[in-house]
Amino acid sequence: MSEDGARPVTYSGYYGADSRPVRGVVPEEAVVTLVVNGQAVVNLMCTPTRLEDLALGFLFNEGLIDSLDEVAVVELCGNGQSVDIWLRHDIEIADVRAITSGCSGGTTFGAAQEPPQRVQSDLVITPEIVTRLMEMLSEASSLYRRAGGVHTAALAVLDNDGSLICVAEDIGRHNTLDKITGAWLRAGRPTESPIVLTSGRVSSEMVSKVARMGAPVIVSRTSPTSLSMQLAQAAGITLIGYTRRRSFRVYAGEERLVIEPDPGSTN
């Protein structure tokens, strides 16, 4: 497995009536097994980077752990083909796994339409911050620029003009959220009101993951689904989509948006 998520390939490039071999890269895809307390729990189709974060974030977002204090061992096994986690307690896994709308078929053990926990936060943001953070997300998408075909997610905080505290890329948009959740846990939950940024569509399971982290805002480059809008409203989450250089759409939680007066205005 590659360390940066891209695999060198040679393909045939056609240019009009001519063709020639071209060396390039494509996103790497792998099946990684999550093993908990000696039991294989789920096979994750993913980009094989930040696998410890992916595994820990998946367990947290599924409600199987609430903190790293419950984790005794995290170990990559089988040349990165599995993540072996031992907890300080037993867990019960539901027999029914919901296949979500995520890329590569996301998996969740929870009820797909179960209302998420409500997020309590006094955070307010401006339109300028929203567009600036998404520009930073694009700049941080290094694997996408090299190979294409992947999603990017990040956690941001509002220090000064805003900054990204964690960035993850993966073939599955749901995996990117699990990866940043795992990194957030391992860093000691460094902020109480993180902002989640994503390049992908916001579906219901993604809103549930954001609510689980206590993040009051999720910003996407593209669209939410109807159910994600309902869940975001119920959870008190500001849901923003179709973010462009100077525009975006707010689908839930508009009360967090504050428009600052134009300093050049005389009104």
CA 140/CA 187 separation, integer angstroms? 19
Find the radius of gyration of the CA atoms of the chain.
20
Are the C-beta atoms of residues 180 and 166 closer than 8 Å to each other?
yes
Name 145's Cβ contacts closer than 8 Å, sequence gap at least 6: none
77 in catalytic set? no
Nearest to 194 by CA among 221, 214, 219: 214
Which amino acid, residue 5? G
Q: Which DSSP string corresponds to 6-52?
A: EEEEEEEEEETTEEEEEEEEEE--EEEEEEETTEEEEEEEE-SSSHH
Nearest to 194 by CA among 231, 233, 159: 159
DSSP reduced 3-state for 79 = coil
Put the strands of the sheet holding 249-252 in their side by side order: 163-170, 151-157, 195-198, 217-220, 238-241, 249-252
CA 163/CA 190 separation, integer angstroms? 13
What backbone torsions phi and psi does residue 114 show, to the nearest 5 degrees?
-70, 130
| Residues tagged active-site | 103
